[in-house]
Amino acid sequence: MAEKYTPSELLICLASRLMEDGQTAFIGTGIPMLAGALAQKRHAPNLIPIFEFGGTGAILEKLPLAVGDMRTFHRAVIASGICDIMETAQRGFVEYGFLGGAQIDAYGNLNSTVIGTHGAPKVRLPGSGGGNDVGSLCWRLIAIMRHDKRRFVEKLDFLTTPGYLSGGHSREEAGLPAGTGPYRVVSNLGILGFDDETRRMKLLSLNPGVTVEQVIESTSFELLVAGDLETNDPPTDDELRILREDVDPDGLYR
């Protein structure tokens, strides 16, 4: 039986399992960074992490504290800059993009800019950074979110990162590359995807101990539910050992 784990550890492990060996992954600060390091050390040694400030293919032996940390260049294949990285995504060379946000809607659009109106916000958030580029240009966007009604909202206070916009073919009609867009949402309640036709968010699997009713009650918009719901495996003892002893021994993110 797996050891007791925290909600953050569950999110990290679920996100890590989505990172495939030999693939490129645009990684941000926080949970995506821990997930990338865990993946490299456990099941994806050839994962190619890409960081906003120019590090490409770094070996994540020690946890970087931010996307500009010198450890994002450790034994990297390339050490360039932000313009080169964004151009790499624009050319179609980045498979996965991992982002967080304060709000997400039914079509995977994200807000990481303000809560309230832009002119007179209640809360100012970190802003876009490379979030718009990642969501616009990477083939598969994976959002990592805490799941409650304040975050899974009917209407964003501000559109920072485009998902499927208003659904259907609206993303392509807006000029964004065909075939790109939101792929998964990893939350503390489950993993969600998107309907192939309407592009609305769909619940695919539940985290241990979570019910469909809990997910629906924690979502402000109408949520589609897959007919063959699965249950996600909890973190294994091996995942927790690597995460706690090798990836984040100081417990910075737990």
pLDDT tens for residues 162-221?
999 999 999 999 999 999 999 999 999 999 999 999 999 999 999 999 999 999 999 999
pLDDT at 254: 64
pLDDT at 2: 58
pTM for the full predicted model: 0.92
Which residue in 9, 52, 95, 239 is the catalytic one?
52
pLDDT at 179: 93
**Listed residue (231, 244, 216, 249) closest to 14, CA to CA:** 231
173 carries an active-site annotation: no
Note the maximum CA span of the chain.
51
pLDDT at 1: 45
CB 71 within 8 A of CB 115: no
**Listed residue (163, 46, 146, 38) closest to 97, CA to CA:** 163
Region 129-150 average pLDDT: 93
pLDDT at 181: 96
CB 31 within 8 A of CB 50: no
Which domains does the chain possess? 7-247 (3.40.1080.10)
Could you read off the pLDDT of 23-79 as tens digits, one per residue? 999 998 888 899 999 999 999 999 999 998 888 998 998 888 887 788 889 998 888
